[in-house]
Amino acid sequence: MAHSNIWNSHPRGYGKGSRECRVCTHPAGLIRKYGLNICRQCFRENSAAIGFTKVLTANLADYEFALAPNMRILCVAEKHAIAKSVAQILSDNHFQTRETGDQFTRNLEFTYRFPNNSMAQIVMTSVRGHLCTTDFPEQYRKWSSCAPVQLFELNIEKKPSADLAALERNLAHEARNANQVMIWTDCDREGENIGAEVAQVCRRSNQQIVVTRARFSSVTPAQVDAVDARMELDLRVGASFTRFQTLSFQDWFPDLKDGVVSYGPCQFPTLGFVVDQYRRVENFIPESFWKLEVKHNKDGVDANFVWQRGHLFDQLACLVIYEACMETPGPTFRINRVKSKPTSKYKPLPLTTVELQKSGSRLLSMSSDRIMTVAEGLYTQGWISYPRTETDQFDQNYDLMGLVQRQTHNGQWGRFAQRLVEGGFRNPRRGKENDQAHPPIHPVMHTENLAGDEKKVYEYITRRFLACCSEDAKGDQTDIDAVIHTETFKATGLIIKERNYLDVYPYDKWSGTVLPNFEEGEEFIPTEFMMKHGATLSPTTITESQLIALMHKNGIGTDATIADHIKTIINREYVVRHKQGNEFQFTPSTLGIALVEGYDNIGLDMNAQRPPPGPGQGPRNNGVRNAGGGGGGGGGFGGGGGGGGGGGAGGGGGSNGFQSFAPKPTAPIVNQQQQGFPSRQGGAVMNAFRENLGSGNSTDSKPRCACGLVAKEVASSKNNGRLFFACSKHQSIACKFFAWADEVNPAANSGPWTAGGGQPQAPQHYGNNSYSKSSTSRSGSSSKGSSSKSTTKRASKSGITAVRIGKKSRPI
């Protein structure tokens, strides 16, 4: 069979949709792979003509597709910058550009010759991240359309994003004219999911199109499902809790009528870290300690000896030891050991996104979101590599020397780069992380035309890269032990011999300390021997670099989203970012503390805050159901009956835990025991919030409305604060239930915000950054509370272990 007869039998050469062999018209034993539609016999006879190469065995399963004449391949990258870079490399910068209908994306077309001399027409295009979004059905998108708890059970729609419609149309159009689509998205979970979306669009347009994956990876169902589950959990949990919080708070605080009190599975643990550290600062009590210090001057050189015990919190015990030492004749110290050894200060690991944000906020005095914005800009301009990566090791075959060579012309670090080229180059350290998608962040091209923040970030990335390619700093360390009575004192000296990477990396400090020459067995009477008093220092509020490190360690967000989560809690006014020295620090607002304390008080098990599911961690639907529903009957949010279930609200009764707060107590609560954070002296807003949450007691004595839910108590504004019961749903969907509280429960009093039985006091509004230092308890009396020096560990409701120093518990 002639070559042309096979491929010209169909307008595009593939016989799309045919049910018989295109050569002999026999319907049996067709090979449909790659859209061939050819029987096995004809395949064997014509394999050379149709562009197939036989490998390993004669088995048809081992034939590998080479290229057919007039092959047209559609390549799809995740971003236009990557598509352009690939096209430049494959086409040697000879490609034509076509419009796509999207202002940020172009089709790049060129011809490519494969190693076997087969020619193919390549169209390189791209998307802009995910093509599809998830949302609830149209009729449930309004906040008043259903109770928030119903969002856990509704179906989720995954549909194309409206603003990416042009990209979808472009993919469909190009796929109709292509024989094969090659997916070039990142080889991580998100990239796999985006690749699956691209393949779905292409297959809808051309059912016979062959889908392949660059870098010999595969679009695996487990990775696709993991991302889909994460997106569904984010939507269900975020939407339901945000509606719940906002609608509930708007009933109590008029200032929030036009605001949103949002919730997110990553946003809330981030806020929890800030509040935890703030608690440590608030509860800190300084403690006095005593220590012994020895100084000696020999040959004009001072030596400072440090007590091996560190310090003691018992003044009398320290004094006894000091007196015993002073009773020694002299008092004479004896050199017990002199040891010298070579030491090194390790060069930094290759740069990851998390490390860029941590170091940048600490060293460059820039916020994490600003650092990422600047880095993205440098990447788009072609100065640095892709700035979102978890990899801290370079591939063995990476051309690092070529990158170093490009920096030799720089006026600041060019000489150091030249030293590396001339023999000072050393392979970078290999970290433990490799996302198989992107190399560590490094400079790609040299430039000296940057200014402001761009210059600072580019300089840090370049100096870090050159430091990675240099050698560790080297020195000699000398340890000297001096003994008197039963006590040992130690002095440490350091002589730096080779600075190496420190010459180009000023962000690391390593200073030498010179010691006098001592010999073992030598005795001396110190120049100064004193017992000194000191006190423990209070911790500071959490810094941005510390917050990023905690988020990364506990799997809160990804390297690409950490900065966004921090920015969200700032924009929501849950925390305040302020500059202390060269670093940014965070302090929680009253609203932020109230939210964290509120969830802690109602005993809610935040299952949804576990890290996103990964491949092989069980069926997707099970994970979504377990995280959202909480398991047992009456549990979670809104289940009727007692017991609370697996995440029930309030502990005492799981009824209506989601639709409204637990009913307000009928009397002020003094020194109420809390399950998580220690009590804090707050303002009226904090008190009102705690009282809205209630003490977790049974709600069986409260009436139920026509919806079958426990009614909420409301103070009347026209009847001297008389309490009444109403439906706990939002007023837009609430039933018409009404009952006076004193008629249902004669013991009901004038309400939780009533001071001395008078008119109800309106709750104070949330201040942006206001903190009340009042020590007045709910009963109106003043108390200092009890003191404790114990340090306790607490497993927070988000599943994150945190340390809390319970120095002092204060009344509310």
Q: Which tokens is 518 given? A: 């001592």
For residue 763, pLDDT beyond 60: no
The answer to whether the CB of 442 falls within 8 A of the CB of 386 is: no
CA distance 689 to 682: 10
Give me the helices (H) in 8-59, please. 40-46
Percent of the chain topping pLDDT 90: 29
Q: What is the pLDDT of residue 812?
A: 27
Q: Is 50 exceeded by the pLDDT of residue 209?
A: yes
pLDDT at residue 660 is higher than 50: no
Name which of 795, 575, 538, 554 is nearest 804 in CA terms: 795
Q: Which residue has the higher pLDDT, 319 or 723?
A: 319
Alpha helices (runs of H) in 406-560, residue ranges in sequence order:
414-419, 452-468, 544-553
Instruction: Detail the DSSP E strand segments found in 372-463.
Output: none
User: What is the overall mean pLDDT for the chain?
Assistant: 73
Name which of 145-159, 379-393, 608-622, 623-637 the model is least confident about.
623-637
Quick check: 526 and 296 in contact, CB under 8 A? yes
Q: Which tokens belong to 776?
A: 């007045």
Query: Tens digit of pLDDT for each residue in 173-196?
Result: 888 888 888 888 877 777 788 888
pLDDT of 415 above 90: yes
Q: 335 pLDDT exceeds 90?
A: yes
What are the strands of the beta sheet with 712-715, ordered from one edge?
712-715, 723-726, 738-740
Please state the separation of Cα 307 from the chain's center in Å. Answer: 42
Q: Report whether pLDDT(547) > 50.
A: yes
Find the length of the chain: 812
Radius of gyration of the chain (CA): 35
Q: How far apart are CA 9 and CA 30, in angstroms?
A: 16
Predicted confidence (pLDDT) at residue 505 exceeds the cutoff of 80:
yes
Instruction: Assess contact for 607 and 627: CB atoms under 8 A.
Output: yes
Confidence tier at 461 by pLDDT (50, 70, 90): very high
pLDDT of residue 585: 92
Distance CA 238, CA 729 (A): 19
- Among candidate residues 14, 278, 322, 386, the one labeled active-site is 386
Q: Which two tokens stand for residue 348?
A: 């930094």
The tokens 């430039």 sit on which residue? 447
Q: CA 735: distance to chain centroid?
A: 42
Q: What is the pLDDT of residue 371?
A: 93
**Which one of 2.60.40.420, 3.40.50.140, 3.30.365.10, 4.10.91.20 gives the CATH number of domain 71-219?**
3.40.50.140
Task: In whole angstroms, give the CA distance from residue 462 to residue 384.
Answer: 9
Indicate if the pLDDT at residue 231 is higher than 50: yes
d(CA 724, CA 717): 11
| Look-up of token digits 């005795």 | 523
Q: What's the rounded Cα separation, in Å, for the pair 514 and 520? A: 18
Neighbour count for residue 622 (Cβ, 10 Å): 12
Distance CA 716, CA 743 (A): 14
* Count of CB atoms situated within 10 Å of the CB of 415: 12
Q: Which of 436-440, 556-560, 654-658 has the lowest mean pLDDT?
A: 654-658
Residue 620: predicted pLDDT: 56
- SS3 at position 66: coil
Res. 623 pLDDT band, cuts 50 70 90: low
Q: pLDDT, tens digit, for every residue of 370-380?
A: 999 999 899 88
- In sequence order, which ranges of 440-574 are alpha helices (DSSP H)? 452-468, 544-553, 562-571
| Mean pLDDT in residue range 601-608 | 55
Instruction: Identify the residue with better confidence: 206 or 132.
Output: 206
Q: What is the token pair recorded at 523?
A: 């005795």
User: What does the angle CA 335 – CA 337 – CA 342 come to, to the nearest 5 degrees?
Assistant: 130
Tell me, what's the pLDDT at 90?
80
CA dihedral 530, 534, 540, 546 (to 10 degrees): 40
Domain boundaries, the chain: 3-65, 71-219, 288-346+475-535, 353-470
Q: How far apart are CA 375 and CA 561, in angstroms?
A: 14
The pLDDT of residue 378:
92
φ/ψ of residue 384, rounded to 5: -130, 170
Please tell me the distance from the alpha carbon of residue 389 to that of residue 372, in angstroms, as a whole number.
12
27 has a pLDDT exceeding 50 = yes
Residue 775's pLDDT band (boundaries 50, 70, 90)? very low
Lowest mean pLDDT among 296-310, 402-416, 484-498, 794-808: 794-808
Span 568-582, average pLDDT: 88
Q: Which pLDDT band holds residue 82 (cuts at 50, 70, 90)?
A: confident
Of 18-27, 229-238, 424-433, which has the strongest mean pLDDT?
424-433
**pTM of the prediction?**
0.58
pLDDT digits (tens, 9 = 90+) for 696-749: 344 446 788 877 777 888 877 666 678 888 887 766 677 878 888 877 754 443
* Distance of alpha carbon 313 from alpha carbon 377, whole angstroms: 53
Assign 627 a pLDDT band (cuts: 50, 70, 90): low
Token digits of residue 716:
């009347």
Q: Where are the alpha helices (DSSP H) in 602-695?
A: 620-629, 684-693
With beta carbons less than 8 A apart as the criterion, state whether 45 and 1 touch.
yes
The Cα–Cα gap between 209 and 200 comes to 11
More confident residue, 98 or 802: 98
What percent of the chain stands above pLDDT 70? 68
pLDDT of residue 788: 35
Looking at the domain covering 288-346+475-535, what would its CATH class be? mainly beta
The rounded distance, in Å, linking the Cα atoms of 295 and 784 is 43
For range 769-784, the mean pLDDT: 34
Contact predicate 390/436, CB 8 Å? no
If one counts every other C-beta atom within 10 angstroms of the C-beta of residue 776, the result is: 14
Q: Determine whether 63 is an active site residue.
A: no
Closest CA to 562 of 771, 344, 328, 264: 264
Phi and psi at residue 529, to the nearest 5°: -140, 110
Whether the CB-CB separation of 684 and 763 falls below 8 Å is answered with yes
Q: Strand order of the sheet with strand 301-307?
A: 523-524, 333-345, 473-484, 487-498, 301-307, 288-298, 528-535
Residue 726 in 3-state DSSP?
strand
Question: In sequence order, what are the residues at sequence separation of 6 or more whose Cβ sits closer than 8 angstroms to the Cβ of residue 553?
Answer: none
Please state the CATH superfamily assignment of the domain spanning residues 3-65 in this structure: Ribosomal Protein S14/S29 (4.10.830.10)
Residue-level pLDDT at 138:
80
Main-chain phi, psi angles of 698, to 5 degrees: -60, 145
Maximum C-alpha span of the chain: 112
Which alpha helices (H) appear in 71-181, and where do they start and end? 80-91, 165-176
CATH topology of domain 353-470: Topoisomerase I; domain 4 (1.10.290)
Q: Please name the residues in contact with 513: beta carbons below 8 A apart, sequence gap of 6 or more.
A: 492, 493, 494
pLDDT attached to residue 25: 62
